[in-house]
Structure 1
């Protein structure tokens, strides 16, 4: 009898239970803005960021062909990270969807306790978020990158895209990455980062990229997503200044066609893909059916694995579980009978 075996080493599996974690629906008072933003993004050429946003909004039938391969001149930590995040949001497996295994390619950039360029921090931030989207936030390379970010926090509490001055966008992204990697929201690093963000909030409720610059929709979007990642509400008094909150300011920049102006009407709308997630009350990585599963595997003497894992199929979940829990497994394909898991 012919058969194919996928990565062999036997373990007895008695029970596999997979449950879906339920998350709350978005607030209805954002629905009008959400609907317009979705229509706008659907009318534009697709990018990894717009695909991620539309998938987060529950859109289906999104053209994913632009994620099938990374252009050679753009291959980098950040490119692979955003491809992974977009594909996971769309319910696809980033290890097999494209011409390359995007996860392996991302990991190949790890060196000297960090990802990519040692002068940059944003590549470490997005590598953590991408690997977190597939349930690999506890890998040693992720934890080392987490420490690299922590060790390079500026004295003002923030981070920049590189080892220089802080900005709101990268500080917000760093907060999300550190939380994803297991840093407590009560930690000194996170609390100092929150204080940095609050120190830059303007009287109109909005956030600028840098101190004394004009608030913009990109900065609003990143900060609001970080606030949701913290489990906080951006419309409460904690994030209100002079009676205005960041969501108020973000909404004020939405054009009639659903896109979002950068700083003021008439400039540009390149921030639009980032604005949908905060309207949806979501953060990074986006939680979808692909990455909301819990797997429990019982052996004959003890529990082999009980963890949150990511995948579009049961086989994906078993493979992801093995990477987290360290168990061995066999998947054998018998002609005419399907797959057998042992």
Structure 2
């Protein structure tokens, strides 16, 4: 295993992704922001990002969808994940077509399959985030209004979807934010609920409990809070960031059964959302960007750990977003 670009010069210009409006154009234009000049993140033309995009492209099938590995069967989750990553990179989905179809064609054609998936609320949230990020209007997808569907998962007390599982809460908030619904009553109630279950350590547990927090869950909740309108200087966000700091290891990565790409990707996205510079989160000479890059392989994929592939497709897609200063939703 050979590492690709273990470090990136702090002077490199990274392309910030402007949050696009849903206008049906299918395009999101990367723009260079003034603050990004000093962040030391990656641009869309840097080798690791180009390589990662090429790897994901190699996993596309003739139906326009994507599977977790080259030549593996397409599925909704992985196709949604790659659509979000490509949208974050400012790519037009029509430029990634195979057999005359692209990822949006696949997602729309398999709309009916969503109801049969486990954790359907989280799956629908991810699905809608993908459609909205790519420029479609989820209010009318083959006659279905997915904004109404998302809101139907929200209870008056702020709980979203299943009890004892808060990743669906996060994905629904993220999806509604992607649909320009951050100011809706449903999002406001969901944010209050999520803040109410923040643990004493400042994190969040995947089951919404008072302990057992983990950095992956804390990171996606931070993304949800901020895109839902929570100020990055709020007490909840500050405590969440302090918790993430406590989970950072000497190698610069974030720990969930040791440092790994899954946790790194989500944590970096949370830092980006909070206006933090991930390069400044150093442990000695190491930082999260360098650690995540150290897990990239020759083929462009990003492994879970140096000696373990894990769900590399997902970590690679999230890595593209995180390494270029993106957040969730893009």
The TM-score normalised by the length of structure 2 is 0.75
Q: RMSD of the alignment, in Å?
A: 2.2
2-structure distance, mates of 1:92, 1:223: 28
**1: distance between equivalents of 2:53 and 2:253?**
22
1:12 corresponds to:
none
> In structure 1, what is the equivalent of residue 47 of structure 2?
32
Structure 2 distance, partners of 1:159, 1:70, is 32
For the structure 1 residues 256 and 226, does the alpha-carbon distance in structure 2 shift closer, same or farther, using more than 3 Å as the test?
Answer: same
Q: Distance in 1 between matches of 2:30 and 2:87?
A: 17
Question: Are the counterparts in 2 of residues 83 and 102 from structure 1 also a CA contact under 8 Å?
Answer: no
Name 1:232's counterpart in structure 2.
276
Q: Which has the higher strand share?
A: 1
> Alpha-carbon deviation of 1:273?
1.9
Counterpart in the other structure of 1:73: 116
TM-score, structure 1 length as denominator? 0.72
Partner of 2:9: none
Task: Encode CA deviations 1:287-319: one digit per residue, 9 max, x unaligned.
Answer: xxxxxxxxxxxxxxxxxxxxxxxxxxxxxxxxx
Per the alignment, in what secondary structure is the counterpart of residue 65 of structure 1?
A: helix
- Alignment of 1:55 onto 2:90: no
Q: What secondary structure, in the 3-state scheme, does the structure 2 residue paired with 1:131 have?
A: helix
**C-alpha separation between the residues in 2 aligned to 1:187 and 1:56?**
26
Shift of 1:28: 5.1
Mapped to 1, the partners of 2:143 and 2:251 lie a distance apart of 46
Q: Bigger relative contact order, structure 1 or 2, given CA contacts below 8 A and separation 6+?
A: 1
Distance 1:22 1:264 in 2: 31
CA contact (8 A) 2:222 2:240 kept: yes
Give the total of aligned pairs.
Answer: 263
Separation (CA, whole Å) in 2 of partners of 1:256 and 1:98? 40
Larger Rg: 1
Residues 92/29 of structure 1: CA separation in 2 closer, same or farther (3 Å cut): closer
Deviation at 1:97, TM superposition (A): 2.9
- Distance apart, 1:24 and its partner CA: 2.3
Aligned CA distance change for structure 1 residues 52 and 171 (closer, same or farther; 3 Å): same
1:255 and 2:297 are equivalent in the alignment: yes
User: What SS is found at the alignment partner of 1:161?
Assistant: coil
1:115 aligns with 2:160: yes
- Cα distance in 2 for partners of 1:142, 1:38 equals 32
